[in-house]
Amino acid sequence: FDLDVPSGHEKDRANRHLRPGEIRHKAEIVEKVTERVKDKADVAFDCHWTFSGGSAKRLAAELEDYDVWWLEDPVPPENLDVQEEVTKSTLTPITVGENRYRVTELRRLIENQAVDIVAPDMPKVGGMRETQKIADVANQYYVPVAMHNVSSPVATMASAHVGTAIPNSLAVEYHSYELGWWEDLVEETVIEDGYIEIPEKPGLGVTLDMDTVEEHMVDGETLFDEA
């Protein structure tokens, strides 16, 4: 669930500060969602790098009484020291990683215990092998990996393959962009009842539906380089 949503309270537009009313509103969202879901599913909340360090700490502290799986990206990614300060200030699990590149950038966050759950974006971070390297470092510090994934069913399956190859896999995110044809890009059913079954076929084990791919290509693009 997104927490960087309008609250109905006057917003401080000069900076990333959260007013008390905004924090109360976000805490109310978390309270209602967790009460509704109860033990049926784990619930996480995304802040999209929106808040200042002080506001992020106050928000995270406010959420400690709720059974939150994690609070994702509460502060902008550039300042690692602020990220570390926020994470160490709260019992609410803090997740970051989707805007980091390669293991060298994520290593410091992990080694300094500035992240409770690391969330590399497999296509962005450098591919399947680089994601595995990040997981290897995280595993040395008992940090679980929840792979950020807003990609197609193909990249989703690639992330799932990595998840089966590492000992500290927590979850693989899936976001379909609410496109009716998104899952039709491959012939197989990738997710069923919230789980991904890893195929034993060669490669990733999924088959592109070329008709669907061609139908939804950007105008002017070709399916393959005919040359």
Q: Name the helix (H) or strand (E) containing 140.
A: helix 128-140
pLDDT of residue 38: 86
pLDDT digits (tens, 9 = 90+) for 134-167: 999 999 999 999 999 988 899 999 999 999 999 9
- The model's pTM is 0.87
> CB neighbours of 129 closer than 8 A, spacing ≥ 6?
none
Domain-wise residue ranges, the chain:
20-178
| Buried/exposed code over 38-58 (b: 16+ C-beta within 10 A; e: otherwise) | eeeeebbbbbebbbbbbbbbb
- CATH 3.20.20.120 at 20-178, yes or no: yes
Helix/strand/coil for 121: strand
3-state helix, strand, coil in the chain (%, to 5): 40, 10, 50
d(CA 45, CA 74): 10
d(CA 132, CA 219): 36
For the record, the structure tokens of 185 come out as: 């890009």
pLDDT digits (tens, 9 = 90+) for 15-62: 677 888 889 999 999 999 999 988 888 889 999 988 999 999 999 999
Among candidates 126, 136, 199, 198, which has minimal Cα distance to 168? 136
Among candidates 79, 121, 74, which has minimal Cα distance to 100? 121
Helix/strand/coil for 16: coil
